[in-house]
């Protein structure tokens, strides 16, 4: 799998490889990136103290991208909510497919296909039993769809003949939010791997309805967005993705929520007194598996998020194939404050961008 070009990337570090790829593919923004020497003081941060500067150099322009990996982690799209005549809650989501160039590492632009202009697409969140209507408009240059991992009819599956629509067209997917869990959606137009690796995917979270789980009502409430029991948790969505920047069916850049090393440069602030819940989804194309490994701590894991009791307890690493996902629950209550790493335990992925930090603090976080 590991060809000579990739080895050069690994040994040269991501900065060198990103600049090299960008200069051949995307002349322009590279000059700015190259002007910043590795180790320059103005970007010195936690990652250099902890990891010898083994990270990207410079900053991604979040404004131009129109999305911010830090905000994506907690940005839930709950739709437009109304109550139907029969008393059921209805949620309407509006999603538009569009072509968009995004910056995935400093100076490295990728010609993405997006949902609502961002990668990953909006994190759609609902409660078990809600009626969902997803109004999907295709303003991109290719046929696209939204294929949900959930329970629905064949007509609503988002595959060719059932919701793959041409540029300029519109389709409404309608189904009930079930089962509760940590799910995803992605484009299912052909060729599938192209539409996925171009950026057409997002998380789809269905919170359990506590009334349906009387035997574990308290646990269900802790998962229900807006419930007081949920408010004490620090919840984050993390979509593990990667980018094939030279179109050779192998990835050159790896990340959580698209931007390489985003959470090395801006570690995720954690109040150690409050538990942490991560909705983890793997959409990585081309590589058979991805993984999440936490330093200095262990977590409980709920495969697919479809149970209220953990499917694995006290683990520090979990593997996921593409489209596999789950919920991690972590406590730092007994830990001393500090920077706690987490990353893919495929070392290659970590060095090419999938490396992050929790900044665990005593006392409230801003």
Do residues 136 and 173 make contact, with C-beta atoms less than 8 angstroms apart? yes
**52 — phi, psi (to 5°)?**
60, 25
| 125 touches Cu ion by CB under 5 A | no
164 binds Cu ion (CB under 5 A): no
d(CA 38, CA 52): 11
Q: Please report how close the Cβ of residue 161 comes to Cu ion at its closest, in angstroms.
A: 15
149 DSSP 8-state letter: S
Pick the closest to residue 153 from 129, 127, 136, 176 (CA basis). 176
Query: Which of 28, 160 has the CB closer to Cu ion?
Result: 160
Quote the least distance from Cβ 156 to Cu ion, whole Å: 17
- Dihedral angle, C-alpha 233, 234, 237, 238, nearest 10 °: -130
Q: How far apart are CB 186 and Cu ion at their closest, in Å?
A: 8
Closer by beta carbon to Cu ion, 114 or else 291: 114
- The pairing of strands 276-282 and 268-271 is unpaired
Min dist CB 144 to Cu ion, Å, is 3
Cβ distance to Cu ion smaller for residue 200 or 294? 200
Q: How far is the CB of 164 from Cu ion (least distance, A)?
A: 8
Confirm or reject binding of residue 186 to Cu ion (CB under 5 A): no
Quick one: 22 or 200, whose CB is closer to Cu ion? 200
Q: How far is the CB of 79 from Cu ion (least distance, A)?
A: 22
- Of 28-36, 43-51, 181-189, 299-307, which part binds Cu ion (CB under 5 A)? 181-189
281 binds Cu ion (CB under 5 A): no
The Cα–Cα gap between 173 and 163 comes to: 8
Question: Are the C-beta atoms of 293 and 316 separated by less than 8 Å?
Answer: yes
Shortest-Cβ-distance residue relative to Cu ion: 187
The CB density around residue 79, as the number of other CB atoms within 10 Å, is 21
Please report how close the Cβ of residue 45 comes to Cu ion at its closest, in angstroms. Answer: 36
Residues 300-359 that bind Cu ion (CB under 5 A): none
Contact region with Cu ion (CB under 5 A), list: 11-19, 56-64, 194-202, 246-254: 194-202
Q: Least distance in Å: CB of 198 to Cu ion?
A: 7
Task: Report how far residue 164's alpha carbon sits from residue 146's, in angstroms, rounded to the nearest whole number.
Answer: 8
Calculate the CA 78 to chain-centre distance. 17
Integer-rounded Cα radius of gyration of the chain: 20
Question: Is there a contact between 342 and 358 (Cβ–Cβ < 8 Å)?
Answer: yes
Q: Which part of the chain contacts Cu ion (CB under 5 A), choosing from 62-70, 179-187, 251-259, 328-336?
A: 179-187
> Nearest CA to 67 among 205, 285, 239?
239
Tell me the C-alpha distance between 163 and 177, whole Å.
18
- Check residue 256 for interaction with Cu ion (CB under 5 A): no
Question: Counting contacts by CB under 5 A, is residue 14 touching Cu ion?
Answer: no
Alpha-carbon distance of 65 to 108, in angstroms, equals 12
Residue of 138, 143, 96 lying closest to 118 (CA atoms): 96
Query: In the complex, what is the shortest distance from the CB of residue 147 to Cu ion, in angstroms, rounded to a whole number?
Result: 10
Is 233 buried (19+), middle (13-18) or exposed (0-12) by CB count in 10 A?
middle
Is 187 a residue that touches Cu ion (CB under 5 A)?
A: yes
Q: Looking only at residues 126 through 145 of this chain, which bind Cu ion when binding is defined by CB under 5 A? A: 144
Given the rule CB under 5 A, which of 182-190, 251-259, 304-312, 325-333 is the region that contacts Cu ion?
A: 182-190
Q: Residues binding Cu ion: what is the number (CB under 5 A)?
A: 5
Minimum Å gap between C-beta 103 and Cu ion is: 21
- Pairing type for strands 201-207 and 123-127 reads parallel
User: Of the candidates 43, 91, 195, 272, which one interacts with Cu ion according to CB under 5 A?
Assistant: 195
Considering only 22, 189, 239, 308, the residue that binds Cu ion (CB under 5 A) is 189
Question: 60, 95, 182, 200: which one contacts Cu ion (CB under 5 A)?
Answer: 200
Told to check if 91 binds Cu ion by CB under 5 A, we report: no
Diameter over CA atoms, the chain: 63
Residues lying near Cu ion in the complex (CB under 5 A) are found at 144, 187, 189, 195, 200
């Amino acid at each position: 799998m590991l060809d000579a070009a990739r080895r050069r990337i690994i040994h040269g570090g991501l900065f060198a490889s990103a600049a090299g790829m960008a200069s051949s593919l995307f002349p322009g923004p590279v000059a700015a990136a190259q002007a910043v020497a590795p180790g320059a003081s103005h970007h010195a941060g936690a990652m250099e103290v902890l990891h010898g500067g083994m990270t990207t150099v410079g900053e991604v322009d979040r404004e131009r991208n129109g999305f911010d990996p830090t905000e994506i982690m907690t940005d839930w799209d709950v739709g437009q909510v109304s109550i139907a005549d029969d008393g059921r809650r209805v949620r309407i989501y509006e999603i538009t497919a569009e072509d968009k160039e995004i910056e995935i590492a400093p100076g490295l632009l990728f010609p993405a296909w997006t949902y609502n202009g961002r990668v990953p697409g909006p994190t759609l969140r609902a409660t078990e039993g809600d009626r969902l209507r997803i109004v999907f408009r295709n303003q991109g240059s290719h046929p696209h769809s939204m294929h949900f991992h959930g329970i629905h009819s064949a007509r609503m599956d988002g595959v060719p003949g059932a919701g793959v629509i041409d540029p300029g067209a519109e389709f409404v997917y309608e189904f009930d939010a079930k089962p509760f869990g940590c799910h995803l959606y992605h484009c299912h137009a052909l060729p599938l791997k192209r539409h996925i690796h171009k950026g057409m995917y997002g998380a789809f979270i269905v919170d359990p309805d506590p009334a349906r789980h009387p035997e574990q009502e308290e646990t269900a409430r802790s998962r229900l967005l807006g419930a007081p029991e949920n408010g004490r948790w620090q919840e984050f969505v993390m979509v593990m993705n990667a980018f094939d920047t030279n179109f050779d069916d192998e990835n050159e850049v790896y990340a959580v929520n698209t931007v390489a090393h985003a959470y090395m440069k801006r570690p995720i602030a954690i109040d150690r007194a409050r538990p942490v819940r991560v909705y983890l989804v793997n959409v990585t194309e081309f590589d058979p598996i991805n993984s999440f490994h936490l330093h200095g701590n262990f977590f409980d894991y709920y495969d697919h998020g479809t149970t209220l009791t953990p499917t694995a307890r006290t683990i520090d690493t979990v593997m996921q194939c593409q489209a596999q996902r789950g919920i991690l629950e972590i406590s730092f209550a007994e830990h001393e404050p500090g920077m706690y790493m987490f990353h893919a335990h495929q070392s290659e992925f970590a060095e090419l961008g999938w490396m992050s930090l929790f900044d665990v603090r005593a006392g409230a976080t801003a």
